[in-house]
Every structure is written in C-alpha cells, then in structure tokens.
Amino acid sequence: MGDKKDNSIAVLEVSSHSQSVTSLSDFTRSLSFEGSVIASPSIESFSTIADQEASIADLEVIKDIHTRVDNPQKHVDPLESYISFRVTTKTTRSEFPDTECIVRRRYTDFVWLHNKLVETLPSRIIPPLPEKHSLLEHLNRYSKEFILCRMKLLDQFLKRVASHPVLSINSHVIIFLTAKLAEFSLHKKHSPSLLNKMSESFYNLTNIYSTTVSSRHHNSEFQQFSDYISNLYEKISMFEKIGTRLLKERKDYVTEAHQFSAALNTWAGYEPQICSTIRQVSKAVDTTASLHKTLLIDPFYEHNSHPMRDYLLYIDAVKQVLARRDLIQAEYDSLGDDLQKKTAEKDQLTNRDREPSNSATPAAAPTTSSYSLWKSTDEDRLEKLSIAIPKLTSQLEMCDDKLQTANNHLRTDMERWRLEKKNDLKKILLKIADQQIAYYQESLESWEGVLANMN
C-alpha cells in the first residue's frame, strides 16, 4: 500500500492471511481510554491477550467487583471485520473462578448479554447499550471517535450491571465476564437470545397493550413514576436538541471570530499609531475563539451530547420495564374479570335451580321433555363452571404472585435508578459548568493581558 497514513483510524488493521500490519495508529499504549487502542497480532489472540498486554494496575476493587472495558482491536477475516474490546474483572466473589478475569468481547456479545438479562429478569431495569446504528452516524465505524465513544458507553453499561446486586450475580453475566472465547461461543450457541430480532417490536407491543388494556386499573404509584420519567425524557431531549443548536452557533462563532481577528490584523497595517493595540485585540479574539473550540466545542459530544443521549436510552429501558409490569397487571385484571363473571353465572344457575317450579301458569309451563333438556343444559354448564372456576382461581393467585414480585422488583430498582440518575446527571451538569468556567477564566486572562499592555 501507499505511504500515506490515516491518523483517524483507531486501530491497526490486521490481515488474517499475512498477519501483517496494514495501517498505523496514532495512539500510544496507556491505561487511559484514549490510549487503550492496540494492535491485534491475530484473531487467535482473543485467548492470550492478557499475556501480551501490561497488567491494569490502576483497577481498584469497588466493594467486591469492578469491571473495565478498554483496548479495542480490529480483526479481519474473510467473512467480516469487527472490533473487539478487552473486558477486565476484579472481584472477591466466590462465584468467579479467579480474582481477576480478562476476556475479549465484541459489540454483538454485549447485545447478547443485554437481551439475556431482559429475558431472564424482565421485571428489572436493565441498563441500555449504546445504539448500534444511530450513534455517530456521520463517522466511520472504525474511526477513533466512534470506537472510543462506543468503548466508554460499553464500559458504563457493564459497570451499571456489575454494581447491581441482582444483575451482577446472573449466570449469563458471570459467563460473559469469565468465559474464554471457545466456551463463550458454545454457551451462546446453546443459549441464543430470543430478543435479537424482536426486542423493538416487543417494546412497541408492550407500549400499545399496556396503555389500551390496563389503563382501567392503573397503579397510582407506578403511574406517577411513569409520568415523571416521561416528563424527564422530554426535558433531556429538549436539552440535547438545544445543545446541538448551540454547538452549531458556536462553530459559526469560531469561524467568524477567526475572520474578525484576520480583519483586525489587516486593519493594523493601516494604523501605525495604534498598530500594537489592534494586534493585541486581534490576538485576544483569536485566542478566545480557539478556547471556544477546545473547551466548549471539542468536548461537546463526549461530555454533553452522548451522556444525555445515553440517559434517553436509560429512560426508554425504564419505560420497557413499566410496560412489562403493565402486561402482568392487564393479565391479572383479565383473569379477575373472567373469574368474577363465571362465579356470578354459577351463582345465578344455582339459585335458579332452587327456585320453585310451580310459579309458572299451566299454559306457560314447560313440557316434561323440554324441562328435562333445560335442566340437563344447566347441569352441564354448572359442571363446566365448577371445573373452570378453581382453575381460574389458581391462575389468578399465580398471576398475583407474579405481579407482586414484579412490583417489588420494580420498586427496588426505581429507588436505585433515582439515586443513580441524580448522581449521573449531577456529574454531567458539573462537567458542563467546569467547561464554561474554564473557558471564561482563560478568556478573561487573555483580555486582561490586552488591558495590561495598553496601560
């Protein structure tokens, strides 16, 4: 290939035939996310990557388990190219085979884990994954920005799972964190995800069904929470949209500020008496424009847009759990209505049998044959109801247990989610505030320098 290097590529491309490097990365190896991209010597390196990389000494065990997603690698084979990530787990839990487990996983593996958690724990709030297609659509999927953004969001997903007292002990999570490639592939083969192709349609179905069927019997507690997260979704969505508009305006401002600085420099050539002052103002304008770009524009996606978009996905995940709870509520209501109708019908038939039959006039009195047929029909119906009612009662009791379990799980996760949301949004907003403060402080220093020189 040619000598030109593409510094936008985040990983080294690897040929599966020659095992040779075909492009260069502009990353250095480090423990930071930005420096965690490494070369993949071969696709077989999945199981031996721990021996090829320096140990992660800065992993601190938080409570009894800590996870980290880093070191993306690009792999090329005849059928597909894909990115894998190193997943490191440090733990003192007895369920894990070692205190430190290092494996490699690709995005589809995370999707499998997410779907298995939804399937096995439908009444729990499952953290969202980064979007597969709409995330940074304008960037190449092998670009530095796309890969590092996805890596951070996958890391956040896994940390949320690991910090959850129930999700973290799920057997699929343990397999995901500990199994080597062959074992993990075998487990996936024998435990396929049922939601791979139906998760979106299932979510739409639960939304429609829960709003139309169970709207007669809304649980005020969960309805209040549902209203809250719907309002929160609208506010965060508006925040994100306004932020995107501000980003465009800031980019326009930077372009025009640099043009303004250039115009001032040109003007200084025609004003020898105040040339120095004009050039100092020009430099300050140019400096503040550069600060605007480095402190407000460049970090926008990482510290503003992506975290907010992630929380919109998180709210969607909460909505899905509420929808699944509403389905159970709708089933419970339907069984209750059916049981009530059949019980009333049985009581009516029983009471009719007890009523005196001589109340009818001779002209209206039924014949012996028709009376026997009518009597036989009622008895058959009573027999069927006597069988159906206990079955419905048993189904209603089981559904009630299922509903109470879902309610208790959701209450617990709602409280956890509220606390997590409070801390996460606080960090996001404080980061934005810090960026604004840094920008205005450095801009002020630049303009104060102009005033000092003028005096």
pLDDT for 214 equals 45
Bridge partners of 102? 88
Between residues 238 and 197, the one the model is more confident about? 238
CA-CA distance, 130 to 69, in Å (whole number)? 14
CA-CA distance, 267 to 393, in Å (whole number)? 90
Residue 283 identity: K
What values do phi and psi take at 321, rounded to 5? -65, -45
In this predicted model, what pLDDT tens digit does every residue of 214-258 receive, in sequence order?
455 567 889 999 999 999 999 999 999 999 999 999 999 999 999
Between residues 92 and 39, the one the model is more confident about? 92
User: Which residues are within 8 A (CB) of 11 and not within 5 positions of it... i.e. 6 or more apart?
Assistant: 25, 37, 38, 39, 40, 72, 73, 74, 83, 142, 147
pLDDT for 146 equals 85
pLDDT for 215 equals 53
Cβ neighbours, 10 Å, residue 262 = 13
pLDDT for 81 equals 86
In this predicted model, what pLDDT tens digit does every residue of 325-370 receive, in sequence order?
999 999 999 999 999 999 998 888 888 766 655 544 454 555 555 5
Q: Give the model's confidence band at 144: pLDDT under 50 very low, under 70 low, under 90 confident, else very high.
A: confident
Q: For the chain, how long is the longest CA-to-CA vector?
A: 129
Question: How far apart, in Å, are the Cα atoms of 296 and each of 129, 266, 379, 415?
Answer: 26, 28, 81, 34
Residue 6 identity: D
pTM over 0.85: no
pLDDT for 54 equals 35
Mean pLDDT of 135-149: 71
pLDDT for 79 equals 83
Domains defined along the chain, listed by start: 1-193 (3.30.1520.10), 248-352+378-454 (1.20.1270.60)
Nearest to 82 by CA among 103, 104, 102, 107: 107
In this predicted model, what pLDDT tens digit does every residue of 94-110 receive, in sequence order?
889 999 999 999 999 99
pLDDT for 189 equals 86
Mean pLDDT of 116-122: 95
In this predicted model, what pLDDT tens digit does every residue of 151-195 receive, in sequence order?
999 999 999 999 999 999 999 999 999 999 999 999 988 876 665
CA-CA distance, 201 to 199, in Å (whole number)? 6
CA-CA distance, 330 to 207, in Å (whole number)? 12
Range with top average pLDDT, 26-40, 192-206, 266-280 = 266-280
Mean pLDDT of 309-328: 94
> Contact at 8 Å (CB) between 284 and 446?
yes
Q: Give the model's confidence band at 137: pLDDT under 50 very low, under 70 low, under 90 confident, else very high.
A: low
CA-CA distance, 242 to 247, in Å (whole number)? 9
pLDDT(451) > 60: yes
Mean pLDDT of 13-22: 38
CA-CA distance, 168 to 172, in Å (whole number)? 9
pLDDT for 371 equals 52
In this predicted model, what pLDDT tens digit does every residue of 41-92 receive, in sequence order?
333 333 333 333 333 333 443 478 999 999 999 998 888 888 999 999 999 9
In this predicted model, what pLDDT tens digit does every residue of 379-434 receive, in sequence order?
788 888 889 899 999 999 999 999 999 999 999 999 999 999 999 999 999 999 99
